[in-house]
Amino acid sequence: MKYPFVLYSCFLLVFGVAGDIFGQSAEPEDSSSTPDCPRELTWQIGDIDPRFEIDTSTLKTIMQAAGSLWSGAVGAPLVAYSDSGAVTLNLIYGKSQEFTDNEQLLSWRINKMKVKHLALEQKYEASFNDHRKRLTQHNQFLGLHAKKVNEYNWILIRRGDENIVEEEEKERVNALKKEIKQLQLKLNQQKDDLNKLAKDLKRFSTRVDEVTDQVNKLIFSYKDRFSTAQTFYQGVYIADLNNRKINIYAFENLDRLKLVLAHEIGHALGLGHTDEPKSIMHYKMGKQNVRNLTLTEQDVRAIERECLD
């Protein structure tokens, strides 16, 4: 019998804080030996839950990229799409993906609120600096105003005490009166501007505090809902007498989908699990380089033993 009655191989994901904490958990053992490596593993698209929001073209591209990792290791095509492929690929939306989506949505809300909080802090800081600059200018004008007033008063005192009436001093007194009046107008305007800026500062400060509370509440909610590790199977390969299929239950992004598909393709090609955490065929996701996914030496040796020996 080429295929056992039941072959059940899973890729385990343990969710924790931020969805990237992975812990130890047992996985169901295969009930019998794995199948021989076929010359070419054909696959087709089965049921795709629309809540995954992935189109068939994108799914085919990712599946082909995942299959190419194994093909490249043996220098021969191993995985190919066919409308009547032997293995059916299904994307089944379950509790694991719902958990992932909820975690990502709340994480997105937190990040959005943090951006808003940062923008408000920047506005507050800009207003604070503007207020400080204008206050410095206001104090400088106050000093100049006081100096002109003192000079004006001194001339009047001298004229009163010494009974000196000179044309030159009259002109200076008139000029000082004009300058003092202009400075007073400027000081009044500065005072109004400073009062307005002070109100803006208070408003920004209050708003920053409000958004800070909102961010903290979201973070508290996030920790309350997602800090406890939860174990889910992201994918599973199942084979029986009449049916072979790869079921995908959860993925955070397309890079991680590629990893899960590569893992389940490995099972479909007859590979078991490895003990190398960075290996594609390790039973847990966590240590693999999903952004630059490659086979480890253990993965390569495993596919070579299965398909070349």
Q: Say if CB 238 and CB 6 are below 8 A apart.
A: yes
**Pairwise pLDDT comparison (18 vs 174), residue with the higher score:** 174
Percent of the chain at pLDDT exceeding 90 = 50
92: Cβ contacts below 8 Å, ≥ 6 apart: 47, 49, 247, 248, 249
Q: What are phi and psi of 230, to 5 degrees?
A: -130, 135
Q: What is the pLDDT of residue 164?
A: 55
Band the pLDDT of 64: cuts 50, 70, 90: very high
Residues 185-194 have a mean pLDDT of 94
Q: Say if CB 111 and CB 18 are below 8 A apart.
A: no
User: pLDDT tens across 254-272, in order?
Assistant: 999 999 999 999 999 999 9
Q: Say if CB 117 and CB 208 are below 8 A apart.
A: yes
What are 147's two structure tokens? 């100096």
pTM for this predicted structure: 0.58
299: Cβ contacts below 8 Å, ≥ 6 apart: 73, 266, 271, 274, 279, 280, 281
User: pLDDT tens across 281-304, in order?
Assistant: 998 888 899 999 999 999 999 999
Q: What are phi and psi of 255, to 5 degrees?
A: -65, -45
Residues 118-128 have a mean pLDDT of 90
- The residue length of the chain stands at 309
Determine whether 136 is exposed, middle or buried from the number of CB atoms within 10 Å of its CB (0-12, 13-18, 19+). exposed
Band the pLDDT of 230: cuts 50, 70, 90: low
> Of the ranges 92-101, 118-127, 189-198, which one carries the lowest mean pLDDT score?
92-101
**Pairwise pLDDT comparison (159 vs 92), residue with the higher score:** 92
Name the helix (H) or strand (E) containing 252: none
Residues 49-68 have a mean pLDDT of 94
